[in-house]
Amino acid sequence: MLSSFTLAALDLVFPALCPVCQTILGAGRRDPLCGSCWSAITRLGAPWCDVCGAAPAVSMSFGEPRRIGPVRPCPTCETDPPHYHYARSAAVYEGQLREALHALKFSGRRALAGPLAELVAEQCLASLPGGIEALIPVPLAREREWQRGFNQATLLARRIGRRLEVPTRPRWLTRTRATRPQSDLSASERRANVRGAFRASHRVAGRHVLVVDDILTTGATLDACARALRDAGVVRVGVLTVARVVHAAV
């Protein structure tokens, strides 16, 4: 750790610029994010659906927006529950957070995994159930990871794992085939695209694991991961993401 004096001296010589807004980091900075981008992120918190983790912005439509603590499964989870047992996301996928995730993935700004993992730690760790034995990043297609040079989910999982004091096991879940980019597809196409695309190691059998990814959009990818893990004998599986697409935010 550098002292604040050393950081200030370094800033005079090499001013650090925020990868999202390109301004000098300034007060409240979460290197390499500047203080204003960090504080502009829309956090998610309780009450959330026990199962899918849909948080206040979404749960407003359930008519009980002010309940504190876990809520019963939301209507979607009551009729069509996912294969994971619980889910948490730190913040809404929009604005500065979307830019930060893009810079991490597509501009190779790996240092952003630091503040993004801190965001997850601050918003989600206190409400996670106990007994998690391993963090498992959602695997990328092999050629995509090769092109990018890293898997952002693994970078995030390792940092979160250090905070939780739980090991990260990227090899416990692999892709069995390439899939089309989910962003071009409808919800039902997304489910079909990733169905059967993952396989879990027998080492997960009998364990409680937490699958980590950067974004939860429809949950189709995470659901396919959870299904593969349960097929391999996992007894409990949660999912944890930095961001979540919140459709009913207004």
Q: Which residues bind Zn ion (CB under 5 A)?
A: 18, 20-21, 34, 37, 49, 51-52, 54, 74, 77
- Least separation, in Å, of the C-beta of 25 and Zn ion? 8
Closest CA to 116 of 165, 172, 154, 171: 154
Report the nearest approach of Zn ion to the CB of residue 67 (Å).
Answer: 14
Q: Which is nearer to Zn ion, 52 or 215 (CB)?
A: 52
The whole-angstrom distance between residue 174's C-alpha and the CA centroid of its chain comes to 18
Residue whose C-alpha is closest to residue 166's, from 122, 112, 202, 121: 121
Of 92 and 166, CB closest to Zn ion: 92
Compute the least distance from the CB of residue 72 to Zn ion, in Å.
9
CA distance 60 to 167: 36
Work out how close the CB of 83 gets to Zn ion at its nearest, in angstroms, rounded to a whole number: 13
Least Cβ distance, residue 224 to Zn ion (angstroms): 17
**Continuous segment of H or E residues that includes residue 29:** none
* Comparison of 21 and 141: residue with beta carbon closer to Zn ion: 21
Closer residue to Zn ion (CB): 100 or 194: 100
Measured at the CA of 36, the angle between CA 34 and CA 38, to 5 degrees, comes to 70
DSSP state of 20: T
| Burial annotation 85-111 (CB, 10 A radius, 16+ → b, else e) | bbbbbbbbbeebbbbbbebbbeeebeb
Q: CB nearer to Zn ion: give 103 or 135.
A: 103
